[in-house]
Chains A and B, each alone.
Chain A
């Protein structure tokens, strides 16, 4: 038997990373098959149903893009602070706050504004409300060193409670027919749809933010400072980089981006505030960001991939009566295998040299 051992590489080679990623995807789908079996469904039939749900028609493919829009934004919301080792787990709440901000403009200011001004104002409002929500946690972290994971998480629950209060209570549509929510947004407050599909203008928001982030990170001084703070906090200290201020700005931007996702959902899909606003895009954004290794381009791809899984999951629910939460299970499983493959790509197998 050839004696083998694991030896750490100096740097993982791209081939091993992509290879590892491919293995991870296959392994995750195998694991998903096990989950299907547990739920009483035939794995191949389930996957076939999912594929049919995604690739079956142009509308289905469009739906993948529709899901990808908030995922790109929420993924960026996680990736931006992650660059300086901050974990924004509050995307869900910031998305909700963004939706609330946009809705406030749509429901109460829109009637008094010229039509072209409404959407830009909603954009600003959503960015501000989402950003401020994240800034709460940012201030606590920057000034008092309070763990931002826990504060952003708690604020998620607070945000959702507030959202429910608003659309069940003071902002409830008096003419609503049973399904609780606010009144429908006026036309001027709705993001136009493209090419006759459900894809809405929010796609531009997602792309612009991703490109902007990539550009800022690689070409601006701010981006440079962020990378230094993230990779070497000590060096940043010696260089007297404004760490506290950076934390505040980064959290604000991050929350703002998630807030844009909230606006995209509220004014591009639902046209009102209702229960379907907080469906986990904030949390899924974590998975998107991690899969993409925090790279903006990767986030777009990962968002499309995860969007595909989500759409497939919905088809699964419709066709085979399996709860669509299977999508979450597949994503998390995929992330685990990718994390594991990261480990493997750092090592290589080599022959143990015989003792002299």
Chain B
């Protein structure tokens, strides 16, 4: 394999990982606070649709991204109301939201199938993109990818080096104690769940405005679900999330390369199964190693509604 192919694979890996990365970081935020949001797939699709539709009608990519984040956040807010205030079963709520998002996006997006809108183009970062070998690969990408580069360290710093992050983690581990200490449990959970939804919407908009681009039914192909699995692999840590997303991207990139070059290592239908089988594999490996270590890093209050007892 020559250098050109290798840099192609790395570049495509990065591109294929971004949507999952955004959604995973978003879900890490929500779950760190104790809220299990299974509706990511729906939020991603609605984000993709609203981003695309907004950009199509306003010719503005920035507005498209904002719209996607707003829609994702709104759906997450609904999840928050049911999970936090109404203390409903978070699994059922999340699944219902996902189904709603999938159906609603198919329903509303029908007229936009096949339409062409403004799209992100690769924007080389001056100086950095001239670095030999790595430069063009890492720094000649579309702007949302750069956002991803910044998001990972920012999320890490937010979670582990700021007061809001500490509060979030406290709420996730022991909401009763956090409540006694004066941290608003509900407010914290709402905030970070909505942020999570916004990031999922952003991931969707990346798909429809940069990666594919365009709108197609179910265009995220399960990446919302994969992101939820990725959170487990990431052990709720943004750096590991980036690693996991990148691995996912590599699997995708390999699949493309093999299909495009018609190298028949595996028949194409098996290749297309790889991302999902890969996700199952990392789930098994992560869960096994966590059992061996006798601690899993799962936020202790994940999925459990909080009720202040008198």
Contact = CB atoms under 8 A, between A and B. Distances in A.
Interface in B185-231: 221-222, 225-226, 228-229
A113 B242 CA distance: 55
A336 B78 contact: yes
Q: Per DSSP, are chain B's interface residues mostly helix, strand or loop, or mixed?
A: helix
A155 B225 CA distance: 12
A290 interface: yes
Interface string B285-297: 0011001000000
A151 B283 contact: yes
Interface hub of A87, A145, A162, A329 (most chain B Cβ within 10 A): A329
Given A154-B229, A325-B107, A343-B88, A144 B38 contact: no
Contact of A328 (B38, B92, B106, B110): B106
Given A332-B99, A332-B100, A153 B222 contact: yes
A38 B108 contact: yes
Contacts of B277: 154, 158
Nearest to B268: A165
A169 B269 CA distance: 10
B6 to A, nearest CB: 28
B136 interface: no
Given A325-B103, A328-B107, A146 B284 contact: yes
Interface string B256-290: 00000000000101001100110110011001100
B156 interface: no
A276 B28 CA distance: 36
Contacts of A161: 269, 272-273
A354 B42 CA distance: 47
Q: How large is the interface on B (under 10, 10 to 19, 20 to 34, 35 or more residues)?
A: 35 or more
Q: Per DSSP, are chain A's interface residues mostly helix, strand or loop, or mixed?
A: helix
A318 interface: no
Nearest to A162: B269
A211 interface: no
Interface in A299-336: 322-323, 325-329, 331-333, 335-336
A272 B122 CA distance: 46
B138 to A, nearest CB: 30
A150 interface: yes
A97 interface: no
A138 B106 CA distance: 31
B120 interface: no
A164 B269 contact: yes
Interface hub of A89, A146, A164, A283 (most chain B Cβ within 10 A): A146
Given A157-B273, A161-B272, A287 B229 contact: no
Interface in B49-107: 78, 82, 86-89, 91-93, 95-97, 99-100, 102-104, 106-107
A287 B96 contact: yes
A322 B106 CA distance: 11
Contacts of A322: 107
Given A89-B95, A335-B96, A340 B86 contact: yes
Contacts of A151: 280, 283
A323 B93 contact: no
B276 A154 contact: yes
A162 B276 CA distance: 12
A87 B91 contact: yes
Contacts of B276: 154-155, 157-158
Contacts of A157: 221-222, 273, 276
Interface string A127-162: 000000000000010001111011101110110011
Contacts of B19: none
B88 A328 contact: no
Contacts of A283: 99, 102
A329 B100 contact: yes
A173 interface: no
Contacts of B267: 165
Interface of A: 35, 38-39, 87, 89, 140, 144-147, 149-151, 153-155, 157-158, 161-162, 164-165, 169, 283-284, 286-287, 290, 322-323, 325-329, 331-333, 335-336, 339-340, 342-343
26 contacts: A35-B104, A35-B107, A39-B108, A140-B280, A150-B232, A150-B283, A154-B222, A154-B225, A154-B226, A155-B280, A157-B222, A158-B273, A161-B273, A162-B269, A165-B269, A323-B107, A325-B103, A325-B104, A326-B103, A329-B100, A331-B103, A332-B103, A332-B104, A336-B96, A340-B86, A343-B87
